[in-house]
Structure 1
Amino acid sequence: MTNWLPNLDNDPDQGRKGPLYLRLAERIEADIAGGILPPGTKLPPQRNLAFDIGVTIGTVGRAYNLIRERGLVSGEVGRGTYVMDPKAAGLVAPASPSEPFGGTRSTFVHSGLIRLDSTAAVEVGQAELMGSTLTEITRQHPNEIASYSRSLPASWRDAGVRWLSGAGWSPDGESVVPTLGAHSAILAAIAAVTVPGDKIAFEDLTYCSAARSVNLMGRRSIIMHTQNGSATPEDFERLCAQQHPKLVFLMPSLHNPTAFTMPEDYRRATAEIARRYNVWIIEDEIYGSLVEDGHVKIAAFAPERTFVIGGMSKSVAAGLRGGWVACPPHLAARVHTAHKMVTGGLPFLMAELTARLVNSGDADEIRARVRNEVRSRGAIARQALAGIEFSTQPLSAFLWVKLPDPWLSATFKNAALNEGVLIDDEDEFKTGRTEKTFHRVRLGITVPGSGEELKNGLTVLRRLMVTDNASYDSYS
């Protein structure tokens, strides 16, 4: 371990305003680029660094998460966070100020890597449809674009009703709140019905950005253990009786990362348990929007306590920060206010574009193209990984792959990166420290530019999986 401490006071970019966690992350990047933190260096534990530089542990945690997402470090629960080799990772310096997206930032960009670490909607020509609609909006609403959004047009709510409806369930338009994507919808719902100190239940594997965010908000995330990729009603009731959570976060359709879909009897039982213990429910349907034959929603069994979350990032376009939350009765105004407080407000251009795409049917057309491409890529993945254990579904944007012995999840991630492939290890989805080890990785199939690129990446991973890793050196 090094005695390194980030010198934020002498940061050459200190005049540039920005969140402290972002400045800390960029200082770490700069020190890696400058050789101050060479490959293999173990960064200080988050709690120690927070104490030494006088910030919260949440600030350090967000900075470490950011640099890990950028491929600069690797981390394993109980082992620590280590600097990776920028050359082995295929990282290059940022563009000069005269180049596009250049400037004063010290951010590295990925070059020549195959990205299987994301599940954004696959590129199917969205720009053409979105571009014409944007042109129309800017011509028709120049004043609204230049100012703040001060109202919620009925068309924005109507789009949410249309997008969230399915399997015989449909929200009331007055209960729908348009949001700046699904993540902000989750935070707004949590902020609206909980207070600092409240416990929020998450499955032991889940969308961990939500779990980390609630900790930053002063809530406490608690772990609900799962079986075969889903929390069982028995596990949920035991947790309610012992820990008394105020809210539970669930992804019942195409669960991330296990690709499991919760059976209807589980959904019904979960709703009944939540009602008995007075627990709010967030039903995240961000991946569920890819499913053609929708599953009955938990909200159909417990409408008085369930928030249904939906968005565009997995099925239309990740850059289109549009989403909605359908609220229990009489809570929409509170959630709308909470959303404004946690995000700063909803930009007119994004909300109007999202609504028009949905209400015109263009979003459905894009989603149909995305579904076809996901099916095609899923077939490529199943063929490339034939004989290897994994979980997926025909319209899943990812695979949850069991690693052959003796591979460990974090070690395999490092080996893949050294071979030019970015993937997510299991730690990316763990709610917190747990003795449970899955020895799995998640492989996203939608971001590579073509099916051929996806196949090449999977071929590399398959070769690694069937190779004994006894001689593998993370920092060679």
Structure 2
Amino acid sequence: MKTRCSFAPAFTALVALVSQLARPGGMICLDTLAYPGIKAIAAQLGVRLQALARDDDGPLAHAFEALCRSDKPNAFYCNPTIQNPSTVTLSSKRREALADVALRYSVPIIEDDAYGMLPVNAPDAMVSFAPDLTYYVTGFSKSFGAGLRVAYIRAPSSRRAQHLAGALRATTVMASPFTMLLATQWVRDGTADLMLDAIRAESAARQEIASRVLSKWKFDADPAGFHFWMPIDSACGWQASELALQLRSQGIGAVSATAFATDGNPPEAIRVCLGGPKNLDECEDALRLIADTVEHPHHLHLPVM
């Protein structure tokens, strides 16, 4: 029986999933830091988001279980591989522990694996631990390029896939046949594999430059990822929101933690995108600009256009 749906884009899949799993007034639990899109979707649909306590390895299973006992959520949302924004990849042990809680309390899992194709040796997906509860979402736009807006959902059963397909038709009617044809052809003829290899190499090169240029500061990154997560120490003279605004005014893709926080208590940190510069030289120039801006807080007093 068919348990998979294809559509475009992945954001639409999340809209359909949230609308199917949680009615207005319902609740979805997730990390204290999360993809801003899920926040926007929940707000639009009137669904509450409940943050789970976390450590350096991601959401804590015991926090998930405590919530299930007190106020069972309609679903658990996670972005387990190169998480946006923290860059954390959940360990197999943590994935299994979270899936175990979901299984014991029958809580559906929305696994947003947008970056899952990038690492060569990523842990097994959450869906492998709880296949009868997990809606697995992946696609091309985050791994191959924003223009290729093709994504896929693996639903827990054919019946749930049918319900989801109905919700998807209500939001987008259908995926673009041309885009679907292109994506399918690339997978079949090996173009997708070649592109992934090239993108991994480019990402690793950009992350290496970031490590070198920003060696004075602590930040979290994954060699296969397109972004890094940089805590901002108050001693440097910046607040994260002001620094992000200043960097954006200079053409750098920086966003403060406020955009990602789900608990109303954002850390002083920024997410910086490395995918914007056209080549390695431009990437290094942007990173040196970041280093100069962080190191010289007199930039605070410059006008932001």
Q: Counterpart of 2:18 in structure 1: which amino acid?
A: I
Q: Counterpart of 2:32 in structure 1: which amino acid?
A: D
Shift of 1:473: 5.3
The structure number with the bigger radius of gyration is: 1
Q: Counterpart of 1:260 in structure 2: which amino acid?
A: V
Contact 2:293 / 2:299 at 8 angstroms: preserved in 1? no
How many residues align? The count is: 302
Q: Cα deviation per residue 1:8-59 (whole Å; 9 max; x = unaligned)?
A: xxxxxxxxxxxxxxxxxxxxxxxxxxxxxxxxxxxxxxxxxxxxxxxxxxxx
Of 327, 340, 348, the match for 2:169: 340
Q: Distance in 1 between the 2:276 and 2:128 partners?
A: 33
Q: Which residue of 1 aligns with 2:117?
A: 289
Q: Counterpart of 1:408 in structure 2: which amino acid?
A: Q
Q: Which residue of 1 aligns with 2:213?
A: 384
Q: Distance in 2 between the 1:254 and 1:398 partners?
A: 9
Q: Distance in 2 between the 1:403 and 1:313 partners?
A: 29
Contact 1:407 / 1:469 at 8 angstroms: preserved in 2? no
Q: Which residue of 2 aligns with 1:402?
A: 231
Contact 1:204 / 1:223 at 8 angstroms: preserved in 2? yes
Of 177, 183, 193, the match for 1:354: 183
* Structure 2: gaps of 5 or more residues: none
Distance 1:246 1:192, change over 3 A: same
Shift of 1:362: 1.3
Q: Distance in 1 between the 2:188 and 2:155 partners?
A: 21
Asked if 1:452 corresponds to 2:281, the answer is yes
Q: Which residue of 2 aligns with 1:411?
A: 242
Distance 1:418 1:470, change over 3 A: closer
* Matches for 1:243-254 after TM superposition, within 5 Å: 243-254=71-82
Q: Cα deviation per residue 1:120-168 (whole Å; 9 max; x = unaligned)?
A: xxxxxxxxxxxxxxxxxxxxxxxxxxxxxxxxxxxxxxxxxxxxxxxxx
Distance 1:340 1:450, change over 3 A: same
* Matches for 1:52-91 after TM superposition, within 5 Å: none
Of 300, 303, 318, the match for 2:131: 303
Q: Distance in 2 between the 1:409 and 1:471 partners?
A: 12
Distance 1:333 1:411, change over 3 A: same
Q: For residue 287 of structure 1, give the secondary structure of its aligned residue in structure 2.
A: coil
Q: Which residue of 1 aligns with 2:198?
A: 369
Q: For residue 195 of structure 1, give the secondary structure of its aligned residue in structure 2.
A: coil
Q: For residue 290 of structure 1, give the secondary structure of its aligned residue in structure 2.
A: coil
Q: For residue 249 of structure 1, give the secondary structure of its aligned residue in structure 2.
A: strand
Shift of 1:195: 2.3
Runs of 4+ in 1 over 6 A off after TM superposition: none
- % identical equivalent positions: 24
Contact 1:180 / 1:323 at 8 angstroms: preserved in 2? yes
Q: Distance in 1 between the 2:125 and 2:82 partners?
A: 13
Q: Distance in 2 between the 1:336 and 1:372 partners?
A: 36
Shift of 1:441: 0.6
Distance 1:466 1:190, change over 3 A: same
Q: For residue 19 of structure 2, give the secondary structure of its aligned residue in structure 1.
A: helix
Q: For residue 233 of structure 2, give the secondary structure of its aligned residue in structure 1.
A: coil
Root-mean-square deviation (CA, aligned residues, Å) is 1.9
Q: Counterpart of 1:362 in structure 2: which amino acid?
A: T
Distance 1:422 1:271, change over 3 A: closer
Contact 1:281 / 1:307 at 8 angstroms: preserved in 2? yes
Q: Cα deviation per residue 1:102-134 (whole Å; 9 max; x = unaligned)?
A: xxxxxxxxxxxxxxxxxxxxxxxxxxxxxxxxx
Shift of 1:354: 1.7
Q: Distance in 2 between the 1:215 and 1:240 partners?
A: 22
Q: Counterpart of 2:173 in structure 1: which amino acid?
A: G
Asked if 1:260 corresponds to 2:88, the answer is yes
Q: Which residue of 1 aligns with 2:259?
A: 428
Q: Distance in 2 between the 1:201 and 1:210 partners?
A: 11
* Structure 1: gaps of 5 or more residues: 1-172
Q: Counterpart of 2:165 in structure 1: which amino acid?
A: H
Q: Distance in 2 between the 1:431 and 1:345 partners?
A: 31
Shift of 1:404: 3.1
Q: Distance in 2 between the 1:359 and 1:283 partners?
A: 25
Shift of 1:307: 0.8
Q: For residue 278 of structure 2, give the secondary structure of its aligned residue in structure 1.
A: coil
Q: Counterpart of 2:142 in structure 1: which amino acid?
A: K
Q: Which residue of 2 aligns with 1:462?
A: 291
Distance 1:188 1:471, change over 3 A: closer
Q: Distance in 1 between the 2:197 and 2:148 partners?
A: 17
Q: Counterpart of 1:314 in structure 2: which amino acid?
A: K
* Matches for 1:144-155 after TM superposition, within 5 Å: none
Q: Distance in 2 between the 1:460 and 1:323 partners?
A: 35
Q: Distance in 2 between the 1:350 and 1:199 partners?
A: 34
Q: Counterpart of 1:449 in structure 2: which amino acid?
A: K
Shift of 1:450: 0.9
Distance 1:414 1:317, change over 3 A: closer
Q: Which residue of 2 aligns with 1:179?
A: 7
Of 58, 61, 65, the match for 1:233: 61
Q: Distance in 2 between the 1:443 and 1:471 partners?
A: 19
Contact 1:402 / 1:439 at 8 angstroms: preserved in 2? yes
